[in-house]
């Protein structure tokens, strides 16, 4: 193991493991019928390019995420670039003198990874199936019919509801049942309210039971 993990590269191996973990989380969530990336974006109230809070953090995120890709994708790009630059830096330093200390190599790799992530984000956004003209605000999701994919919904821990907007885009929403209701997984619901990434749902009328949000 010591010959496999070269001195000064431990941090970058950890970064690769984090990338693998994020990929595994997304895969498992898709197998469960939801998307971790979509849940994260909806939970943070993030819907794409330009949808950032004001202030230093918002301006920084706007610069970094120039392409408007989902936050989970952005994290994978940043951590992967950080690891790649870290390994390359240590390989070059090791061939010249000796690998740099981790506390020195880490910041240098991060500085190199930031503009690279911005460039990759912009390029990836051009080929990802995203249509900014069809972006739906949280208010625009109120009134839509959906299906409880992770439940049951009550007034406690939020579950997940899948809805289709007017542009045939599927959204995964964090949701609770409105007061007085308990809604089981697989039941059809109507979104009646929403704020700060959390929505309220009520059972849909029986006459809407043949609605299929996955049907085009």
Instruction: Give the residue extent of every domain in the chain.
Output: 10-132, 136-208
Radius of gyration (C-alpha) of the chain in whole angstroms: 21
Q: What CATH architecture is 136-208? A: Beta Barrel (2.40)
Q: What is the pLDDT of residue 137?
A: 64
Q: pTM for the full model?
A: 0.54
- Which pair of structure tokens corresponds to residue 136? 């739906």
User: Burial level of 50, CB count in 10 A (0-12/13-18/19+)?
Assistant: exposed
**When comparing pLDDT for 216 and 111, which is higher?**
111
Res. 10: pLDDT tops 60: yes
Mean pLDDT within 130-151: 70
What are the residues whose beta carbons fall under 8 Å from the beta carbon of 53, sequence distance 6 or more? none
- Under DSSP, is residue 147 helix (H, G, I), strand (E, B) or coil? strand
18 to 78, 142, 181: CA distances (angstroms): 11, 35, 39
Structure confidence by residue, pLDDT tens digits, 174-192: 889 999 999 998 899 999 9
Instruction: For the chain, give the mean pLDDT.
Output: 76
- Which pair of structure tokens corresponds to residue 54? 């004001």
Res. 48: pLDDT tops 70: no
32 to 28, 51, 172, 179, 200: CA distances (angstroms): 6, 28, 12, 27, 22
**When comparing pLDDT for 123 and 62, which is higher?**
123
Res. 58: pLDDT tops 60: no
Of the ranges 63-77, 79-93, 128-142, 150-164, which one carries the lowest mean pLDDT score? 128-142
Res. 103: pLDDT tops 60: yes
- Which pair of structure tokens corresponds to residue 7? 């001195």
Mean pLDDT within 62-77: 72
């Amino acid at each position: 193991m010591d010959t496999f993990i070269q001195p000064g590269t431990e941090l970058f191996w950890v970064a690769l493991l984090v990338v693998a973990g994020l990929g595994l989380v997304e895969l498992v969530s898709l197998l469960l019928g939801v998307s971790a990336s979509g849940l994260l974006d909806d939970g943070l109230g993030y819907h794409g390019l330009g949808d950032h809070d004001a202030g230093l953090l918002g301006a920084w995120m706007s610069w970094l995420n120039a392409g408007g890709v989902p936050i989970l994708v952005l994290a994978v790009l940043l951590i992967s670039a950080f690891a790649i630059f870290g390994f390359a830096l240590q390989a070059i330093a090791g061939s010249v003198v000796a690998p740099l200390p981790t506390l020195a190599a880490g910041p240098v790799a991060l500085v190199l990874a930031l503009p690279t992530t911005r460039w990759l984000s912009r390029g990836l956004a051009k080929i990802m199936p995203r249509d900014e003209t069809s972006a739906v605000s949280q208010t625009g999701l109120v009134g839509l019919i959906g299906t409880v994919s992770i439940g049951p919904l009550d007034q406690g821990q939020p579950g997940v509801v899948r809805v289709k907007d007017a542009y045939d885009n599927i959204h995964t929403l964090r949701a609770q049942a409105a007061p007085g209701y308990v809604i089981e997984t697989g039941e059809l619901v109507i979104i009646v309210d929403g704020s700060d990434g959390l929505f309220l749902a009520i059972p849909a009328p029986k006459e809407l039971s043949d609605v299929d949000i996955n049907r085009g």
